[in-house]
Structure formats: C-alpha cells, structure tokens
Chains A and B, each alone.
Chain A
C-alpha cells in the first residue's frame, strides 16, 4: 500500500491560491449575470406594466374565479347536476369534433407542404444555393407569423368558418414541419445517395429510394407531435371566428357563463390528454420500429 505524502507547502499554497482565484472568478461571473438579469427584469417589468399591488389585491379574484367556474355537483342529484352542467353537450361535442378535424386537416396539408419543400431546403440534396435560400426563407416566414395572425387575415379574405382555420394551421405547419423535416434530411447517411447517384438515378429516384426510407419514421413522428400542437391551436381559432370550439369558449368567458367555462375547458383538457397519450404511444411505436431495423 502506498503511503500518502503531503505536497510540499509551496505547491500546496499555489494550488489553494488557484482554487481561491477560480472561486472568486466564478462568483464574479455570477454577480455580473445577476446584475444583468436584474436590469433586464426591471426594464421588462416597466414595459409590461407590472403592477404587483393590483395582483396582490386581486389574487383573491383569481381563486374566486376558479371557485365560481366549478359546477354545482351534489351527490344526491348527480345525474341532473351533470346534465345541467353539460346542458349543450351535443353541440359542444360536434364543435369539438370540428376542432379535431381542423387540426387533422391542417397537420396533413401542412405535412404535405413541408414534405415537398424540405428536400428543396436541404443542403445535402440541392446544390443551387439560390433555390435553397428561397425555400428556407419561405419556410421561415410561414413559421414566424403565428397561425392566428394568418387566420385574422384569411377570415377577411375567405369569410368566417372552419376552412379558414384549416388554411391558417396548414401554412404555419408547413413552415414548422418543413424546417424540422429538412434538418432530418440533412442528417441522413449519404452513402445510399452516393450509391444511387453512381448508378445514374434521377434526382427524384434518389430521393425516393435513398433518402425516403431513412427519414420516413422521423417525419411521421414529427407530424404526430405537430398534430398535438395543432389540436391546441385549433381550440383557439374560434377566438377570431375561424371555427372550432374556441368561439363558444370565448363567449362563455366574456359573458361570465361560469359553469360553461369549466365544462368546455374540461372537454378541451381531456381531449388534449387523450391526443397526447395516443400520439405518444404511436411515436414510441414508430421510433421502436426504427431502432429494431
């Protein structure tokens, strides 16, 4: 067994000094970061008109509001109470179905658009920098403008209704999925592509037989994730008159139909839960299939 030997005092002192310097510099960094954060926080609070006293005075209103929207459910009259709470169930269910269909169509159309554009925007497949630049900027604009802004403009152009919501969702989804898809394509294994190019295959043939088999399961997984997000997005499309259950919720909140608010919110939350759960299962299945190959 080796005996522990003490460091010579000079080297020990040097190491201790170094340690202290490191700690001091770390502390200085922390202080500077904290100061910058404090300044930013002050600026942001000023810009956002933070009024802590109003919040403190009215926080009771928030809990009161939550209490207010709770339905009256008595165990002795559970059936009638439930029926009263969900008095418009058939209409709400059909609106919820409309919301889901909007999300589905928006995702599908957006995925098709993103699918077509992602190969053009991928750096490893398209040599023309100009074409790639145009495709990338187009996707960026589609992605950055929120879907509800598209919906606002489309409502004026196309008239009210769920079709507008679908188109708005589809455009935003094209931008979001196009970017994700093209990142997947840029990360593929290039050997199959070189092999097919070597045999003289056309560009479309190369994409079909060398790229597509590598990326399809990832594409599907991203599209499912987007579907989940779009269900939430479709739920508020009604705020601007673009169809779905949002309109009903907006009316309920604005007009203080308290029990309706909780009824519709509960339906939305449950639907989102169910969709989350379902898509997560499907995605694990898809990714598992990918890993198994």
Chain B
C-alpha cells in the first residue's frame, strides 16, 4: 500500500462523515433558503430572495444571540481564567486530578436536568426568596437575560477552563522564576509572561464557547421562558412549530454567515496580535 493510499484511508472515515453530515445538509439548507414555503412544511423549489428580505422580522433573536454570546464568552473567560490558573499553578499536585474531575462532574448529568435546577434556584422560591428574607424585595431573576447568562456561563465553563488550564500547565515554571530573578514583581510577571503565554488557551476556549453559544437554544428556552429568544430558538420554532422550512433555512444560513465572519475577524485579530509582538523591539 503506498503512503498516498494510506493517507487517504486515514482521512476516509472523517471525510465521509464530514461530507454526509455537514456539506450535504448545509447545501440542502442553502437550496431551501431560496425556495418558497410549502403549506404543510417542506419547500417549493424556486429562486427567490423573499426569505432573506424577511430576516429583519427575527431581529430580536439575532440581537439577543449577538449580545449574550459575546458577553457570556467574556464572563466565562473571567471566571474560568483564575480557576484554571489555580488548578495549573497553585493547586497541590495531590489534589489536582480530583479538582479537575470536579470541573467536569456537571457534564455527567444532562444539561436539561441542570437547567431545571437553575429554574428552581433563580425562580420565586429560590434566590429571590432568599433576597427577600434579607430585605431586598421584588427581584425577578428567572426568564430574564441575566438568567440566560447565568445558565450559559455555568453550562460552558468547563470548555473554557480546560484549554486555559492546558496552556498554563505547559508553561515552563522556570520562566516565572527568570522573570522574578530579573526584577519583575509577581503581578508584572503575570502580565508580561504568564498571560501572553496563555493566549493560545484563551483563544481556543473563547472560540469553542462562542461558537457553541451562537447555536444555543436549550438554555434560553428554559431559563429565558420564551422571553429571551436566541436564533436557535427561532429555528426550532420555524422548523417544528410554524413549519416554515424556507424561512427557517434563510435564518440558519444567516447565522452561519455571521459566525463565519466573526470567526474570520477573530482569527485575523489573533494573528495580528501575534505578529505585532514580533515587530516591537522593546515594549
């Protein structure tokens, strides 16, 4: 068997899956998005831009997604970084494994069940009741953007923790000693050595969480109570409730395009950040 054949064999399973489950469905969705609505679901083949012209009708869903996904990513980063830092740098090696397992333990239960728990916690008899008891009245948490934010940060935190943890764990601790030896106090060592060297982990974590948040529908549905709609919820509604496949396809295509643009811009920015560090002689 030649190397070439073997290479193809290595790629075959993933390639087939990719083609069958991504390229083909996406093409179908793209074709549908130019069609017309059929009465009982399905699409009447056509070439019309009508569905795209209708996109502003779902503006709220796009707005919610495009604000809560970045905010959620940022919040997850701010919570995950100190945690990952503690696990990678400070934690006693004997406890490390146990602590890391604790980070993923929530994943052992379905997000559905965990979201129910949050419904209770944020609902009338949960946190607001507690606040009322200490004298803060009239706080409504459930079915607000805040509830959705709490839900998504909680749900996706491990995905942010792990890439950052790995990049901090791999960081050569002697570099920190070298920085200290050269006269940098701990916080400046963090800003000049630790943080820049953990950028790859931050970038991966943000990318993972952001992309998944853009497609999220379960958490907004449960904790937003139909008041905080994501694009994902719009899609569920259009395909399963209103059975408007053509319009749903246009919304899906729009979401994919937005994601592609954001990710491309993001990658460019990262590359430029990496490149600019080369040019500066001494910062």
Query: Do A and B associate with each other?
Result: no
